[in-house]
Amino acid sequence: MPKDGIKGKKGISNTLYIFFKFRELTIILFIIVLTIIITIRNPVFLSKTNISDILVDMVVLSILAVGQMLVILSGGIDLSLGTGLGLVAMITGLTIININMNPFLLLMIGALIGGLLGSLNGLLITRGGVVPLICTLGTGSIFRGITVIINSVFYKGQYIGSDKLPLALKNLTRTDIIGLPSIIFFMIVIYLIFYYFLNYTVTGREFYAVGGNIQAAKIAGIKSNNIQFLAYMISGVLFGIAAVLYVSRFTTAQTDTGVGMDFSSVTAVALGGVSLLGGMGSIIGVFFGSLLIAVINTSLNMIYVSPFWKLAINGIILLVAVVGNQIMENKVRKRLRESRRVF
């Protein structure tokens, strides 16, 4: 084969590798292009109020996506996130309307309940040997059923509305800090914590090792079951926190709270470049994946697209992200194999 042909192939391979490595930049460019298009149709899109609303709308999803990322990185998947959030939202909502307590204490209670629910998933998967997909689908159905039962028994099947919630809880996420709602800063703190955790701690790096090759991780002395259990427990803690923030910000708790959020969290993770097979991904990518979904949803609302079309579009986005990730991963692995042959 001519040398120019070899160089051409290497050039394409290098370009693909760079594209995969800097997926975040691609998402940012897509967000910018989409913003320009929507702003031309509706100039209000770039107003300060609308930008603030987009950031607020992405908070709950983006927190769930961090938990989903940890689970997927370690080789699993969590399809009980949305229903778990709904259950914690109902429990904490019923608690706060009956017992006057500090909102931060309620946050801790939400995190504790969520952690217990996540631990249940972790135990069933790591100790019971249940397949993650089946396990979390099952527990998700259980969580939704318990939500409906609790609501029926303790609140006669009614939804918890704004008029029943104390002002202190509402102010938890509605107080402005440097011109932005405080709920946004909860998201920022969580992302900073897990950015450090995944990049600068031994345990964080073990998540990648277990998801990348569980047998190699075991040989290296990593307790894979413990890592996978920890992933589900943290995922639970995060959807517990997200549930309290949801009730505070949107001042409601209903039996259908959280519907579809597990699907959206997987979409955000896939868009952010996290391999659904585990072992590869960036939390910065997950942040921008969540932001892209929020921008798309807001854009569709502003141009009056039917909610049914939004579901279809989100499904298309997930499929494109997954297929794109798979193509990129195959190219990267092929490039790595070729580099080993050279040496």
Q: How does pLDDT run across 76-86, given as a tens digit for each residue?
A: 999 999 999 99
| CB proximity list for 202: less than 8 A, separation 6 or greater | none
Looking at residue 189, its amino acid is V
Write down the mean pLDDT value for the chain.
Answer: 86
132 inside domain: yes
22 inside domain: no
77 inside domain: yes
159 pLDDT higher than 80: yes
230 inside domain: yes
| Most confident of the ranges 18-27, 266-275, 333-342 | 266-275
336 pLDDT higher than 60: no
Give φ, ψ of 161 to 5 degrees: -105, 175
How much is the average pLDDT of 26-43?
Answer: 85
216 inside domain: yes
326 inside domain: no
Residue range of the domain that includes 124: 55-257
122 inside domain: yes
Tokens of 70: 């940890």
How many domains does the chain divide into?
1
Of the listed ranges 122-131, 254-263, 334-343, the least confidently predicted one is: 334-343
pLDDT at 15: 54
